[in-house]
Amino acid sequence: MMHWLDRRTPESRKSFDARTAGDVDYGRVVHSASFRRLQGKTQILNLGDSDFYRTRLTHSLEVAQIAGGLIKQLAHNFPGHPALVHLPEHALIQAIACTHDLGHPPFGHGGEVALNYCMRDYGGFEGNGQTLRILSKLEKFSELAGSNLTRETLLGVLKYPVAFSQVANPNVRPRMLSDTSGTPLLDRTASEPPKCFFDCEEDVVDWILSPLSNSDQDAFRKFDLRPGKHAKARHKAFACSIMDLADDISFGIHDLEDALALKLVDQ
């Protein structure tokens, strides 16, 4: 278990520091510049004068609360279950949940599709891949390892453990629609990115998965080919699945609540 609490750049802890590794990761996430930037990113609506509807920041806080609640509820509903030892600690699942949108642009997946089109000749763009890049290399808590989070947290962040070059279908290339008049329109179907990490983070993913046997690593990285589409990853970590469920619960309810409050839809 201790291997999962390792950091890419080893750190010494003060003897009086009472925090767990999950507490440290959670603190680094909520005090990071990338987390603060979420306040300027919307879910599906534009920023405006209303103080009611969600931004990516408030959404991430809600996902963290729901994910923590799921952990507690599982432990309560299934006392003594052998799987409980694999549940992440409360602070760690909150750290994972608070990071899940760090790499995503404004305007939901529409922004992601637009960026993938703009980056079509430079390796593409995918929000989850950008999240891993921010945490593992771009944040400033360490010189070489970004936020230098624990292996367990980064495994929970790794929503799609497959590389861009492995799962990108070369026949599905971002493009503009050819049969429009006036303002050019993006072909959204062709421009959707594969769900993946970027090839430049292969070393990070190798480190994350290194405690696993070679056969387990190969199994975890499996993906399914899909005719006419990008390939799809098969697996994610248990903690990542909990975060993903919390995300679905959050935006499934709150996007509708925002739309009702702003009278975009009738009750």
DSSP-derived 3-state class of residue 45: coil
Look up residue 208 and give its amino acid: I
**99 within domain boundaries:** yes
Q: Are 98 and 28 in contact (CB under 8 A)?
A: no
User: Is residue 117 a part of any domain in this protein?
Assistant: no
CA distance 193 to 91: 31
Q: Using an 8 Å Cβ cutoff, are 153 and 95 in contact?
A: yes
Can you give the pLDDT of all 267 residues of the chain as single tens digits? 569 999 999 998 888 999 999 999 999 999 999 999 998 776 555 555 555 567 889 889 999 999 999 999 999 999 999 999 999 999 999 999 999 999 998 777 888 999 999 999 998 999 999 999 999 999 999 999 999 999 999 999 999 999 999 999 999 999 999 877 778 889 999 999 999 999 999 999 999 999 999 999 999 999 999 999 999 999 999 999 999 999 999 887 776 776 676 666 776
Residue 111 lies in a domain: no
In the prediction, which pLDDT does 266 show?
72
Residue 206 domain boundaries: 20-41+54-105+124-162+199-223+232-261
pTM score: 0.90
Closest by Cα among 261, 238, 242 to 43: 261
Q: Tell me whether residue 96 is in a domain.
A: yes
Residue range 165-200, pLDDT digits in tens:
999 999 999 999 987 777 888 999 999 999 999 999
Distances in Å between the alpha carbon of 74 and those of 21, 82, 83?
22, 12, 10
Residue 114 within any structural domain of the chain: no
In sequence order, what are the beta bridge partners of 150?
Answer: 7
Question: What pLDDT shows up at residue 182?
Answer: 76
| Residue 187 maps to a domain | no
Q: Look at residue 58 and tell me if it is in a domain.
A: yes
Q: Give domain status of residue 151, yes or no.
A: yes
No. of H helices and E strands in the chain?
Answer: 12, 2
Residues 62-82 pLDDT 10s: 999 999 999 999 999 999 999
DSSP β-bridge partners for residue 171: none
The structural domain count of the chain equals 1
80: domain CATH number is 1.10.3210.10
